[in-house]
Amino acid sequence: MNGKVMVVGSANVDLAVDVPRVPKAGETVLGARLRRSPGGKGANQAVAAAFACGADTTFVGALGEDEGADLLLVSLGGAGVRTDLVERAEAPTGTAFITVSPDGENAIVVAPGANDHVVIGPAQAARIAEADVVLAQLEIPLDVVAAAAAAREKNARMILNAAPSRELPESLWAVLDILVVNEHEAADLAGEPEKLLERVPAVVVTLGGEGCVILRRDQEPLRIPGFPVDVVDTTGAGDTFCGVLAAALAQGEDLPAAAIRASVAGALAVTRPGAQAAVPSQDEVAGKTP
């Protein structure tokens, strides 16, 4: 079963530089060579769903009329993602400014550009209505996330990766089936991760190299351990996790099995630089999945 995944979200050109440390306010730090590569949480997650999991994946996003857009379309298309519903906006393609520290940790600032112009029109809504899973993040306007959720069929699952975290309206909480957050995002949204269950039936809290925890109403928390790897660059690893989680669910796996596959893919992604460029293949993921 291929599983149909709709990823609604951002696409960015990532400008990344390795730095000895993240600069403090007012400080200048000399970094190494600049890397320019395809990124954006939405586009990264779409690439992961298609390339690392083989799901029938459509990306709904917005790009400018510029060379950055070409970079993203080549990467998405190369990974097997459908891009026919991507809109072109009168704004530059989103850009992310990324520092990567020696321990592989990143710090990111995003200039949204075209990402503020993502739309759910009739064509996007019609394709969303065919999806098994709809996956969104928070680098696009909240009303677009809500429109995507509203366009899905009743039995399709709505997953929100609340990154970067921001306050959500009650109407959006009400339509979520699964929330994926890291520990910082969970704390921003609710203080205690368990409190999130008052608002959404299932929560997956990612713990970086330590794996993740699945929280579900009326069930004990389930811990999925991490996989030891050499960390090169954590940029986009959380996106690989989310994309594979959504794809595995669309392919009929249950939440624990999907989270194991997602953890393997996320771990492999940190062993390489970049976001979309670091997404592992289906074979690599299968080879490491217990």
What are the residues binding ligand RIB (CB under 6 A)?
Answer: 10, 12, 14, 39-41, 44, 96, 108, 110, 139, 235-236, 238-239, 275
Minimum gap (Å) between residue 44 Cβ and ligand RIB? 5
Minimum gap (Å) between residue 192 Cβ and ligand RIB? 24
Other CB atoms within 10 A of residue 138 CB: 19
Bridge partners (DSSP) of residue 56 are 4
Instruction: Say whether 116 is catalytic.
Output: no
Of 3 and 39, the one with the shorter C-beta distance to ligand RIB is 39
Q: E-assigned strands of the chain?
A: 4-8, 12-18, 34-39, 56-60, 62-63, 87-88, 94-100, 106-111, 133-136, 157-161, 178-182, 202-206, 212-216, 222-224
217-226: Cβ within 8 A, 24+ apart? 221/194, 222/256, 224/256, 224/259, 224/260, 224/263, 225/263, 226/263, 226/267
CA distances from 254 to 240, 249, 257, 279 (A): 18, 6, 6, 22
Catalytic residue among 14, 132, 233, 239: 239
Minimum gap (Å) between residue 76 Cβ and ligand RIB? 13
Of 156 and 267, the one with the shorter C-beta distance to ligand RIB is 267
Minimum gap (Å) between residue 263 Cβ and ligand RIB? 16
62: left (phi over 0), alpha (psi -120 to 50) or beta: beta
Of 10 and 57, the one with the shorter C-beta distance to ligand RIB is 10
Cα–Cα nearest to 46, from 14, 72, 65: 72
Minimum gap (Å) between residue 9 Cβ and ligand RIB? 9
Asked if 46 and 96 count as a contact pair (C-beta separation under 8 A), the reply is no
Of 251 and 263, the one with the shorter C-beta distance to ligand RIB is 263
Of 46 and 128, the one with the shorter C-beta distance to ligand RIB is 46
Show which residues are catalytic: 239
